[in-house]
């Protein structure tokens, strides 16, 4: 049966468990020409790289293949270190299926060079966080790194 009735109040729909009708196709992605090298550096050498556009004076982090402003092909790779500045943050209290999270998590936007990385914050007391706080990436140990953004376990106060 198709759905037989209308629901007039948003709250009554709640969350649908997809069950057996779940859409069966997924996507797999490549990190791309620049992304592949960025993640290899992170995995193998524990380094974060950006690419610099000299003309626009911008260093993109994570590294990109091209400058979106002037369309230059970016060939200058810069080791930008693991430290950054907390540009903004949020505390997350509910899951995406609208259940209360047992452990509210903290998500930060971390400025590194001219890039902004969204990532978890750890080893910190939420009351002590402030915008502009120096933070540093805590990497997973070499053997556990897979060449993913989660090779950074979290950022922590410096």
Partner 1 sequence: MRKVAIVGAGLTKFVRRALETPKELSFEATSTALDSCGLKLEDIDCVAHGSAPDAFDGIHQKGEYLADGCGGWNKPTMRVFVGGATGVHAIIHGWHHVASGMFDTCLVVCEEKMSSAMPHAQGFFLTIFDAITERALHPNLLWIFALEMNRYMSRYGYTKEDMALAAVNNKRNGQLHPSSQFKDEVTVEDVLNSEIMAYPVSRLDVSPVSDGAAAVVLAAEPVARRLTDKPVWIEGVGWTLDTAYWGTRDLYYPRYLDKAARMAYEMAGIREPAKQINIAEPYDPFDYKALHHMEGLQLSPRGKTVELLRDGHFARDGNLPMCPSGGLLGVGNPIAAAGTMKVAELFWQLRGEAGERQVPGNPRLGVAQAWGDLMQVSSVVVAGI
Residues, the chain, total? 158
Interface residue with partner 1, options 10, 17, 27, 125 (CB under 8 A): 27
Give ∠ CA 130-133-138 in degrees, rounded to 5.
Answer: 115
Q: Does 29 bind partner 1 (CB under 8 A)?
A: yes
Q: Which is nearer to partner 1, 11 or 25 (CB)?
A: 25
Please report whether residue 118 would count as binding partner 1 according to CB under 8 A. no
Is there binding between residue 23 and partner 1 (CB under 8 A)?
yes
Binding mask 30-69 for partner 1 (x = CB under 8 A): xxxxxxx----------------------------xx-xx
Nearer to partner 1, 5 or 102 (CB): 5
Give the residue, chosen from 6, 26, 96, 127, that forms a contact with partner 1 under the rule CB under 8 A: 26
* Residue 2 in contact with partner 1, rule: CB under 8 A: yes
3-class DSSP string for 47-87: CCEEEEECCCCEEECCCCCECCCCCCECCEEEECCCEEEEE
Residue 3 makes CB contacts below 8 A (sequence gap 6+) with none
Q: What angle do CA 73, 78, 82 make, to 5 degrees?
A: 135
Structural tokens at position 21:
């009708």
* Site membership for partner 1, residue 92 (CB under 8 A): no
Interface residues toward partner 1, by CB under 8 A: 2, 23-36, 65-66, 68-71, 73
């Amino acid at each position: 049966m198709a759905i037989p009735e209308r629901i007039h109040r948003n709250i009554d729909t709640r969350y649908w468990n997809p069950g057996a009708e779940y859409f069966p196709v997924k996507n797999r992605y490549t990190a791309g020409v620049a992304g592949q090298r960025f993640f290899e550096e992170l995995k193998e050498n524990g380094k974060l790289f950006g690419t610099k556009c000299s003309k626009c004076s911008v260093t993109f982090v994570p590294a990109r293949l091209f400058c979106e402003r002037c369309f230059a092909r970016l060939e200058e790779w810069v080791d930008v270190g693991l430290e950054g500045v907390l540009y903004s943050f949020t505390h997350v209290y509910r899951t995406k299926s609208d259940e209360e999270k047992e452990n509210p998590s903290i998500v930060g936007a971390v400025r590194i060079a001219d890039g902004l990385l969204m990532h978890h914050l750890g080893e910190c007391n939420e009351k002590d966080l402030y915008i502009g706080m120096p933070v540093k990436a805590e990497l997973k140990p070499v053997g556990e790194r897979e060449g993913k953004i989660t090779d950074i376990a979290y950022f922590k106060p410096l």
